[in-house]
């Protein structure tokens, strides 16, 4: 499926475009990314439940996009701000194009579900029960369930006074109920709203002998809605869902108590402006008009759905047990090569630097390192940054246990991690209760770096063990996101890590690091210097080469530097999963730049950087994407990987990603993405499958290597 150009008037590939057309629109590039996700749902080569999963991802992605990006643009418009984006579009033009493209995307999404996925699910034994077509036994079953488990939870609320509407929660399913006017004919209809709490669950399993038969909770409540309105006549009952603006932040310069201020932000989101209305296409014109007026939403931000609202709920159908033939073959995460089950992580890291690529390789060694540190009497201190964690985090539990055992534990818990604020507030308060020294992030900056330092007393003196990562300390997402972990006890890394941590937890002035680099201080200059180094080598007759894997490329200064490198003849290969504002392949500007995007079963999340550096490669991992927010408004890390074996592994991983043929899309000069011409070949390279094959091979090879155990021969004991 081809994609619409990301900005107006795309330039010819035969000449460099004028300055205002050197970049794609950030927002429209994101939509192009979500369209690539949708393509995976449309792909007949993917198993059925995997296709359903991608439909759910499309909806989940759109929820966040509307809350943040569309919400931000609407605020700009309301404030009268007319700043243009890098592609020359003002907020009104961006919103209009977003509406057009997202309406097309949603129409394609539902056509895929209704015409293809749903019939095939039914044929495979997974069936949505139409409540208008129930057997007497099923009707009795649902009636009993409604009376005893659903009805007691529901609280219908009258909408008699549109001037003072009740709080209608965002991203929650509701029923709009139109009641027959009472009394004199011709009176306006009356309305009520029934909120369907998420705790009820979306899918109600029905008792059948084979397969999986389910009903949607909104259908069941609609079926028995008369129980909620005794004595009333229901004229209409339709599902709807709203998205509220979540683009809110704390004025940290005025916030005396950041914890309290973040709690206020969460409260503000509950009652912020509605930025999107989703409603069943069965809705009448009169009810739709009422909802739009009530929520102050126009047609451009109203989305009529011919199928179930909130397709992200279908994640649970994709995860249910059974039906394994409708899924990809499992790829169990592989163990750390050469590590024995009872071997200390400290011993393993002392033998040499450790590099892991999750989820192909297990995240357990990272958790193990922290759990060992919590229990080890020789560990003196643990310092860690927590950006996003899981609900029942073993990492947080290990930090709490360490503090309870009188180790000095410092945790920087980023309260401003969007949509994880509530969870992080809870963790911060809980950790404080256990004696952990908690820092609530930094003023005016988000702390997004992934680092953990363990300080241990050993016979040779104090040694620091450091974990650097590209992803969060979250063992759940580590099974789904492609991320790098790098563990080392080299002194220079330990010294830099300590200096970095002291800088962000105290009032230390910025320092000069030996190995690492950090945003917002030196990361941007470092990246520009690395690009400039390749330009100079190319101009001196050497071969310049850059390979970069990031999630997003938006920063104009870095894009301009890459353009200069391309014009100098430097070969540049970019793997950019999501937003890319750089135009590749434009003659006189970027003909030496290629951009690919891989969308597959795991979310591409690792940031890996390679600079040829005259044949002595410089290789880095990073927590930062190439976006202004990461380089200027966040605390991020760039970590060099110099160990020869680890460095070669990273270079190999990077090349495999860039060489993907099966799941890669290639960005064209006009903003469209095309599938690789070899994608249907029998031996088309699927990078994620190859990375998993390598992880299995490394684990197998290590398991087959005989372990040499030196056992001293002792003299016989005299009797």
Residues known to be catalytic = 448
576/719 Cα distance (integer angstroms): 73
Q: Shortest CA distance to 35 belongs to which of 112, 93, 92?
A: 112
Two structure tokens written together for 419: 């949509």
558/572 Cα distance (integer angstroms): 13
229/64 Cα distance (integer angstroms): 35
Give the HSE-up count for residue 282: Cα atoms under 13 Å, Cβ half-sphere.
14
Helix and strand numbers, DSSP H then E, in the chain: 20, 27
548/560 Cα distance (integer angstroms): 15
User: Phi first, then psi: what are they for 144, rounded to 5°?
Assistant: -65, -45
Contacts of 558 (CB under 8 A, 6+ apart): 524, 527, 528, 531, 626, 631
Question: Kind of pairing, strands 437-439 and 446-447?
Answer: unpaired
11/590 Cα distance (integer angstroms): 12
Other CB atoms within a 10 A radius of the CB of residue 537 amount to: 20
| The CA-based dihedral angle spanning residues 309, 310, 311, 313, taken in that order and rounded to the nearest 10 degrees | -120
618/639 Cα distance (integer angstroms): 11
222/642 Cα distance (integer angstroms): 62
- Cβ density class 100-137: b for 16+ within 10 Å, e for less: ebbbebbebbbebbeeebbeebeeeebbbbebeebeee
204: burial class by Cβ within 10 Å (0-12, 13-18, 19+)?
buried
Element (H, E) at 645: helix 644-658
Q: Write the DSSP string, 374-434.
A: HH-TTEEEEEEEESS--TT-HHHHHHHHHHHTT-EEEEEE-TTSTT-HHHHHHHHHHHHHH
């Amino acid at each position: 499926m081809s994609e619409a150009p990301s900005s107006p008037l795309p330039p010819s590939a035969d000449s460099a475009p004028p300055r205002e057309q050197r970049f794609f629109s950030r927002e429209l590039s994101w939509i192009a990314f979500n369209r690539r996700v949708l393509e995976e749902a449309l792909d007949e080569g993917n198993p059925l439940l995997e296709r359903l999963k991608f439909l759910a991802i499309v909806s989940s992605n759109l929820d966040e996009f509307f809350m943040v990006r569309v919400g931000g643009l609407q605020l700009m418009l309301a404030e009268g701000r007319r700043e243009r984006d890098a592609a020359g579009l003002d907020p009104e033009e961006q919103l209009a194009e977003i509406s057009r493209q997202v309406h097309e995307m949603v129409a394609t999404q539902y056509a895929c579900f209704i015409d293809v996925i749903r019939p095939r699910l039914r044929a495979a034994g997974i069936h949505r029960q139409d409540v208008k077509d129930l057997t007497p036994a099923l009707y009795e079953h649902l009636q009993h369930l409604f009376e005893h488990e659903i009805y007691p939870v529901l609280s219908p609320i009258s909408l008699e006074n549109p001037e003072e509407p009740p709080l209608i929660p965002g991203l929650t399913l509701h029923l709009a109920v139109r009641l027959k006017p009472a009394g004199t004919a011709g009176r306006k209809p009356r309305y009520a709203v029934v909120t369907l709490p998420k705790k009820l669950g979306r899918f109600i399993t029905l008792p059948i002998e084979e397969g999986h038969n389910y009903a949607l909770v909104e259908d069941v409540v609609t079926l028995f809605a008369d129980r909620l309105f005794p004595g009333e006549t229901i004229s209409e009952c339709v599902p709807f869902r709203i998205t509220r603006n979540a683009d809110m932040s704390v004025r940290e310069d005025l916030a005396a108590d950041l914890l309290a201020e973040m709690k206020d932000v969460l409260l503000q989101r509950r009652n912020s402006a509605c930025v999107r209305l989703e409603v069943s296409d069965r809705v009448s014109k009169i009810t739709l008009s009422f909802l739009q007026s009530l929520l102050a939403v126009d047609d451009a931000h109203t989305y009529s759905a011919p199928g179930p609202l909130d397709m992200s709920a279908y994640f649970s159908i994709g995860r249910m047990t059974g039906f394994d033939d409708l899924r990809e073959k499992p790829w169990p995460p592989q163990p750390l090569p050469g590590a024995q089950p009872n071997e200390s992580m400290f011993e393993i890291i002392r033998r040499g630097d450790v590099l892991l690529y999750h989820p192909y390789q297990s995240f357990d060694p990272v958790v193990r390192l922290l759990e060992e540190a919590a229990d080890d009497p020789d560990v003196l201190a643990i310092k860690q940054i927590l950006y996003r964690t899981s609900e029942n985090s073993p990492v947080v539990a290990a930090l709490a246990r360490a503090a309870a055992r009188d180790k000095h534990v410092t945790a920087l818990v980023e309260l401003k991690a969007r949509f994880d604020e509530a969870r992080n507030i809870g963790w911060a308060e809980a950790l404080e209760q256990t004696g952990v020294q908690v820092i609530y992030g930094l003023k005016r900056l988000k702390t997004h770096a992934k680092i953990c330092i363990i300080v241990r007393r050993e016979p040779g003196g104090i040694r620091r063990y450091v974990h650097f990562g590209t992803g969060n300390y979250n063992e759940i997402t580590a099974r789904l996101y492609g991320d790098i972990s790098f563990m080392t006890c080299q002194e220079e890394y330990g010294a830099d890590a300590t200096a970095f941590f002291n800088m962000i937890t105290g009032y230390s002035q910025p320092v000069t690091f030996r190995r690492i680099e950090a945003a917002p201080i030196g990361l941007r200059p470092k990246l520009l210097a690395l690009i400039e180094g390749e330009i100079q080598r190319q101009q001196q007759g050497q071969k310049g080469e850059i390979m970069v894997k990031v999630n997003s490329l938006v920063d104009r200064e870095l894009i301009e530097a890459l353009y200069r490198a391309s014009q100098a003849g430097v070969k540049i290969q970019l793997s950019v999963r999501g937003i890319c504002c750089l135009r590749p392949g434009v003659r006189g500007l970027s003909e030496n730049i290629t951009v690919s995007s891989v969308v597959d079963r795991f979310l591409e999340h690792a940031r890996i950087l390679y600079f040829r550096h005259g044949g002595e490669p410089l290789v880095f991992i990073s927590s930062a994407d190439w976006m202004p927010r990461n380089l200027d408004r966040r605390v991020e890390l760039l970590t060099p990987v110099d160990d020869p074996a680890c460095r070669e592994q990273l270079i190999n991983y990077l090349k495999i990603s860039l060489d993907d043929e099966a799941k890669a899309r290639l960005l064209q000069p006009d903003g469209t993405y095309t599938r690789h011409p070899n994608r249907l070949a029998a031996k088309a390279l699927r990078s994620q499958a190859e990375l998993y094959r390598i992880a299995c091979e490394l684990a197998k090879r290590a398991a087959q290597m005989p372990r040499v155990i030196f056992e001293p021969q002792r003299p016989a004991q005299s009797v």
